[in-house]
Structure 1
Amino acid sequence: MKFRRIAVMMAGMAAIAAPAAEPLAPDYAQGRYWSAVNSLPQGVAPNTALRGVDVFWIHPTTTRSTTDYNHDPLDPTVLKWTEESAVQRQASAFSACCRIFAPRYRAATTKALMDPTRREAAFALAYSDIERAFDWYLAHENKGRPFIIAGHSQGGAHSASLLEKRIKGTALQGQLVAVYIIGINLMDGDLAPRFAGVPLCSEPAQTGCFVQWNSILAESDVAPTLKAYAAAFAAQNGGRVGGSPLCVNPVTFDRRRPVSPAAEAKGAVVGNPGFGAMGPLRAGAVAAECRDGLLIVRPAAELALKPLPGGSMHFHDVGLFWADLSANAALRARTWLKTHKRH
């Protein structure tokens, strides 16, 4: 499996100290290996009006370990952080459009992500769970329904792999509403041959396409990030030049409108990821611009969001645009259902 350099969640995650044997493979016929997404930002009312589309959500790296390369998805400490600080805060953005299927899987830990001798194997094990979960979903729940694939960070990488290996060029592509590949560095060079036939989304209501963004503070020096992205692509593609990173503004979702003022943003989650319920949304609090393939953001101070080193807003790739993502997923779902109306 190809591994592309991604921004890794290095702090605030569940910490594992005791060494353990390789975790058992999840049995996706058991409900305990699926997350129930039942949390919303404070003040947001549940919306179940649109349920004709499914979303298969893949959570990011959530385990900071000094001993293990893949986490046990049912470990109580790991599970609590994964659920409350990742799944509920992120996958919930799709609750207005879709039934959500969020597998608990043996995700690669930060130890694996930082160890080039074990990284590929750890990612391959994690992805094997994702494929089996997706197969179970297709066999038992899909029943021909349209679906969205979405994930952040490590989950974004696995989403990209599902698109490349299981959906592109198959009958499933006809059921695809969109793929939200968030927080990894896809490049122009990935458009072909890797994703040939599945375009980068150009318009907010377009279906059968994928979106991508990486958030970084406006005052940051982006040169090291761009250099690292280019080097990683070349290393994995026989020296081929990858071009620019791909970016779709998650406020406009329109490639003709790469810049959005703060007033246009529908709602960001206040505060850093953590345990417990989400705070309220704040509308009009994030200015954003796709520039040089990165999403340059200017969040309002009242959001109280802490960046990672170098100004990366990786922790907040979803939270900054929670309401915008929610509205866009619903729009694409409605568009697909209208276009493919069954008689």
Structure 2
Amino acid sequence: MMKLSRLAIGLAMSACAGQAIAQTAPVAAPAAPVVAPAVPPKPTVADVARNAPPAPDYADPAMWAAGFGGLKAAATLPAGASPIARHAKVDVFYIHPTTFRGGPLDLNQDPRNPQANKWADESVVARQGGVFSGCCNVFSPRYRAASFAVFADPAVQAAAFELAYSDIERAFDVFLKQLNGRPFIIAGHSQGAFHTATLLERRVDGTPLQKRMVAAYIIGINIGEGEFGRRFKHVPICDRPAQTGCGLQWNAMMAGTDLTKARERAQSTYVAKYGDNPGKRTLCVNPITFDRKRPASTMAQARGAVPGSPGFGAMQPLKAKAVAATCDDGYLVVTLAPGLGLDPLPGGVMHFHDVGLFYADIRANAAVRVAAYLRAHPAARRSAR
């Protein structure tokens, strides 16, 4: 379902861009016969390797949006957020989502591209990675993330994602050396969540690292409940707000949206791999309660959302008591207070706002999990760089 949902978002963005051009172009009589525009080349799997930017060197602090050389992009806070943690005992490895549109054959983002990095830093690293600065030191690698151009072809997407993930593993190894035995959180959204889940499966689950993992925040993809125990054989679902060593997920949709087709598509990947069983239901942990026994929450419980769509510049002040949310058979259905300025994508999809809607709630929960982990592991409380 990751492929389908990202493709839909890419098409929606392209449609919006085309609409803007149509509304602003001047009207004039044609001076010459109209010539059909050239058809852009269709990318192939071979183009992924052929056009790949050079692999980043993670010994270079410039290849980190946050972490080496300070919090950097993750140091930005909206007014009303809790302070940045000083002398934190836990570190976060945060992986940003797809931010690079590119051209027809720009299939993976170049981590040395300053314009692309600025957009990633301000639109997502600050707004998502920075969520965890209230409890932890945040590390966020620049990587050859797959671009929006890959989502039309599943084979091209798979190749571009595998190239991107190869960077993530190398960055994670550098991150682990920096930790020197300290506990950690892994987190990501959308494409970043896809890589977070892969990292959890390949590098953490069932290894000694699992004992050091506080939690895995896998946000905005469609992991089935039954993948815990199958794909992730040792890592359980986070059932309670203070539980550690576990994984969690949600996908936000506007109230009133017909979820039938989205639910079927989300479950189809699970069914194809594991069979048609109850585990096909997409995992939803309400990011206001963080308690699977309390799947619904009211606006009064919401600690604070970031108004306005992700973009360049500073975040607006947090707005508390502005989001009600309910887990409805795998999806997080949200109702928003007026004035948040958060528009859904076609079909009621709130994908771009999966983190911003719950900024203060996630920030508080990460601190709760860290405190619980440190209480249970006294040696970690004495850890230092």
Same fold? TM cut 0.5: yes
Is 1:30–2:38 an aligned residue pair? Answer: no
User: Partner of 1:92 in structure 2?
Assistant: 130
Of 180, 197, 202, the residue aligned with 1:165 is 202
Within 2, Cα distance between the matches of 1:73 and 1:157? 19
28-37 vs 62-71, greater mean Cα deviation: 62-71
Within 1, Cα distance between the matches of 2:142 and 2:281? 33
TM-score when normalising by structure 2: 0.83
C-alpha displacement of 1:189: 2.5
User: Partner of 2:246 in structure 1?
Assistant: 209
Of 282, 293, 299, the residue aligned with 1:245 is 282
Within 1, Cα distance between the matches of 2:2 and 2:353? 22
Superimposed CA distance per residue, residues 228-286 of structure 1 (whole angstroms, 9 cap, x where no aligned partner): 11222234x16555521000000000011000000100000010011101011000000
User: Partner of 1:80 in structure 2?
Assistant: 118
User: Partner of 1:108 in structure 2?
Assistant: 146
Within 2, Cα distance between the matches of 1:264 and 1:336? 24
TM-score when normalising by structure 1: 0.93
Equivalent positions of 1:19-58 (< 5 A) are 21-35=51-65, 36=72, 37-44=74-81, 46-49=83-86, 51-58=88-95
Within 1, Cα distance between the matches of 2:276 and 2:264? 14
Within 2, Cα distance between the matches of 1:7 and 1:341? 42
Is 1:135–2:173 an aligned residue pair? Answer: yes
How many residues matched?
Answer: 338
The amino acid across from 1:155 in the alignment is G
Within 1, Cα distance between the matches of 2:268 and 2:87? 43
Runs (5+) with no aligned partner, structure 2: 18-39, 42-46, 66-71
Is 1:68–2:98 an aligned residue pair? Answer: no
Within 1, Cα distance between the matches of 2:216 and 2:376? 18
Which has a greater percent of helix?
2
Equivalent positions of 1:112-261 (< 5 A) are 112-139=150-177, 141-235=178-272, 237=273, 240-241=276-277, 242-261=279-298
Please say if residues 304 and 322 of structure 2, whose CA atoms lie closer than 8 Å, have aligned partners that are also in contact: yes
Runs (5+) with no aligned partner, structure 1: none
Of 297, 303, 327, the residue aligned with 1:290 is 327
Helix, strand or coil for the counterpart of 2:300?
helix
Change (3 A) 1:228 1:3: closer
261-270 vs 222-231, greater mean Cα deviation: 222-231
Please say if residues 5 and 184 of structure 1, whose CA atoms lie closer than 8 Å, have aligned partners that are also in contact: no
Helix, strand or coil for the counterpart of 1:337?
helix
Within 1, Cα distance between the matches of 2:300 and 2:191? 31
Which structure's relative contact order is higher, taking Cα pairs within 8 Å and 6+ residues apart? 1
Which has a greater percent of strand?
1
C-alpha displacement of 1:196: 1.7
Question: Superposition RMSD on alpha carbons, in Å?
Answer: 2.2
C-alpha displacement of 1:74: 2.1
Helix, strand or coil for the counterpart of 2:257?
coil
The amino acid across from 1:102 in the alignment is S
